[in-house]
Amino acid sequence: MKDHFTIDDLDLAGRTVIYRVDINCPLLEETLELANDNRIREMLPTLKEMLARKAKVIILAHQSRPGEWDYIPLDKHARRTSELLGQEVPYVNDLYGEEAHKAIVALRPGAAIMLRNVRDEPGEMEKRSMEEHAGSLLVKELSKLADIYINDAFGAAHRSQCSLIGFQAVLPSSTGRLMEKELKALETVFTSSSHPCIFVLGGAKFSDAIKVVDRVLGQGIADRVIMVGLVANAFLKAKGVALGEKSERNLMKEFTDENIRAASRLMEMYGGRIELPFDVALEVDGARLDVPISDLPSDHPIHDIGIGSARAFVEILRDACTVFMSGPAGKIEIDGFELGTQLLMEAAVVGGSFSVIGGGHTVSAAQRFGCCDRFSYVSTGGGALETYLLGKTLPVVEALKTAYLRETSKR
């Protein structure tokens, strides 16, 4: 059932739109130039459509957080946006003061500006309700100059920050095309009738992995979960496999009694539906050495799933109709240890399955392996995606729903 507006529901011609995006980009440390402009590219379809429909667009965005080395102004983002769009998007070094005010009232239909890093505003980062944020100067001053609020910031949808949820309290609000695509792709995976549905979970967060496995197997979302990376090691250890000191050191923080108990319980309940590696790749003097689990513990660190396990998982993925993949299988930044991740990704994109990949590291790995474009959908979310996977609500989506209810009840 429809519970939020999309831009199909809005008349944009001549309207002033506050367009909140997530174009938080990784930077090159030496030059502070944008290292990857993927998130800027991902907002372009919505931006182009709004401009073609003669909206006046105020782009509102953040980069990093105050105090971080990569906390920079958005002039570079505005320049890259202009280049990719083929139309000048002036950068305005202000949020709601005189300079911003002048630039906004001077906007012509079909033109856009980008305002200053919104995290420069004290109060932006505070976690508050949408009503509380609606009382902020940022929302009060900017909403006076605008007619509509459009949110495409899926990557930040797990944050209850001022510019992300405050405007929905006072302006007609909708998703942008990117937010719409993200939510649709996730909904397809999580409510898919296309089975078998296989989740491949990697990365480092044992406690999150436990919750996700519990949810997706318990609710019949996934038929099987393939565990890889550090979370697979944690499940193996919970099963009683001694890995060796170096591999166990990485797990220590999350390896609480509570997590061990929860993982053991899941393995008892879902046994055959949780796939764990039966061999691993150790790093021995800089080279890869594949050994069966029975050869553990080892003094050498585990840096990938073993080739035998990777091949067995590839077979499972071959028959899948829906695949969701998040988190690498090994240390993809070290030569030779990207193999498990690469084989799994290549298997996920063959055939006609609906395949979704997400998480910053996983997506850059897919780009390196050249298979990124072959996934049905590539999510721009990191933390937001994790929040969604855990079954928690996304404050930005909730605020859009509240705005929808308010507007539709007026009609």
**Which chain residues interact with Mg ion by CB under 5 A?**
383
Which stretches of 152-228 are DSSP H helices?
162-165, 177-190, 206-218
Cα–Cα dist 31/50, whole Å: 33
Edge-to-edge strand list for the sheet holding 16-20: 91-92, 112-115, 56-60, 16-20, 148-151, 173-175
Which residue number, 22 or 180, has a Cβ lying nearer to ligand 3PG? 22
Exactly one of 152, 382, 399, 403 binds ligand 3PG (CB under 6 A); that residue is: 382
Cα–Cα distances (Å) from 350 to 50, 165, 190, 226, 297, in that order, read 35, 39, 21, 17, 35
Which one of the spans 11-19, 152-160, 172-180, 261-269 is the region binding ligand 3PG (CB under 6 A)? 152-160
Whether the Cβ atoms of residue 18 and residue 171 lie closer than 8 Å to each other: yes
Distance CA 139, CA 165 (A): 10
Does position 140 interact with ligand 3PG (CB under 6 A)? The reply is no
DSSP 249-301: HTTGGG--HHHHHHHHHHHHHHGGGEE--SEEEEEETTEEEEEEGGG---SSP
Please state the φ and ψ torsions of residue 229, each to the nearest 5 degrees: 65, -155
For helices 360-369 and 339-349, give the axis angle rounded to 10 degrees: 80
Binds ligand 3PG (CB under 6 A): choice among 45, 196, 383, 391:
383
By CB under 6 A, tell whether 359 contacts ligand 3PG: no
| CA distance linking residue 154 with residue 388, whole number of Å | 11
**How many residues touch ligand 3PG (CB under 6 A)?**
8
Interface residue with ligand 3PG among 80, 159, 181, 288 (CB under 6 A) is 159
> Per CB under 6 A, does 379 bind ligand 3PG?
no
Specify the residue, 158 or 177, whose C-beta has the smaller distance to Mg ion: 158
Taken in order 251, 253, 256, 262, is the CA torsion positive or negative? negative
203 binds ligand 3PG (CB under 6 A): no
Q: Which amino acid is at 382?
A: G
Question: Looking at beta carbons only, is 308 or 383 nearer to Mg ion?
Answer: 383
| Contact map string, positions 65 to 104, toward ligand 3PG, x by CB under 6 A | x---------------------------------------
Q: How many residues does the chain have?
A: 411
Partner in contact with 203, chosen from ligand 3PG, Mg ion, none, beta carbon below 5 to 8 Å by kind: none
Site string for ligand 3PG, 206-245 (x = CB under 6 A): ----------------------------------------
Judged by CB under 6 A, does residue 24 bind ligand 3PG? yes
For residue 364, state whether it binds ligand 3PG (rule: CB under 6 A): no
Under rule CB under 6 A, residue 361 binds ligand 3PG:
no
Residues that bind ligand 3PG (CB under 6 A): 22, 24, 65, 155-156, 159, 382-383
